[in-house]
Amino acid sequence: MSRIGKKPVELPSGVSASVSGQTVEVKGPKGTQTFNATDDVTIAVEDNVITVAPRGNSKRARQQWGMSRTVIANMVHGVQNTFKKELEIQGVGYRAAVQGSTLKLNLGYSHDVNFDIPAGITVTTPKPTEIIVEGHDLQEVGQVAANIRDWRRPEPYKGKGIRYKGEYIFAKEGKKK
């Protein structure tokens, strides 16, 4: 039994939800989000509470039960607040700057990296070595942060690269004679 799936998702004031078939639409002050659930779960909205229940007792139905409930809870949070991922850049000469809808990264390559910021995502650089990715869709915020990090992952010898704020990189010892 899913302990996550059993818990109902409460709708705060200013947020409304509607279900048509397997599609859930959540509206709030920050926007609208939709989610298409699989046929393995049943979704119901009653008295400002969204409940998710599995159809049957198959393994897939139980897997989708908890996942669907979590996605819906993240949508409810996202239309009311924003999700945020913070990245740090470490390395001599490594820096970032936002110009319009493009993030310019100097990461030690022979050229600058121009990263196009997708719609619905806000990227800011309070310092040249800090990047903040914000948005209302948790999955999209995480994916954009991961795509930025992929341009120069932190390496284990000197620790140079782009890392999540607070991420620990296990340092390896260099070659010995």
CATH topology of domain 3-78: Outer Surface Protein A; domain 3 (3.90.930)
Read off the pLDDT of residues 51-63 as tens digits, 9 standing for 90 and up: 999 998 889 988 8
Give pLDDT, residue 1: 61
CATH 3.90.930.12 positions along the chain are 3-78, 83-164
pTM, to two decimals: 0.85
| Those residues with Cβ within 8 angstroms of residue 148's Cβ, 6 or more apart along the chain or in another chain | 87, 103, 105, 115, 131, 133, 162
CB-based burial of residue 30 (10 Å sphere; 0-12 exposed, 13-18 middle, 19+ buried)? middle
The CATH homologous superfamily for domain 83-164 is Ribosomal protein L6 (3.90.930.12)
Read off the pLDDT of residues 116-135 as tens digits, 9 standing for 90 and up: 999 989 999 999 999 999 99
Query: How far is the C-alpha of 92 from the C-alpha of 71, rounded, in Å?
Result: 40
Residue 2 has pLDDT above 70, yes or no: no
Residue 171 has pLDDT above 90, yes or no: no
**Across-strand partners of 174?**
none
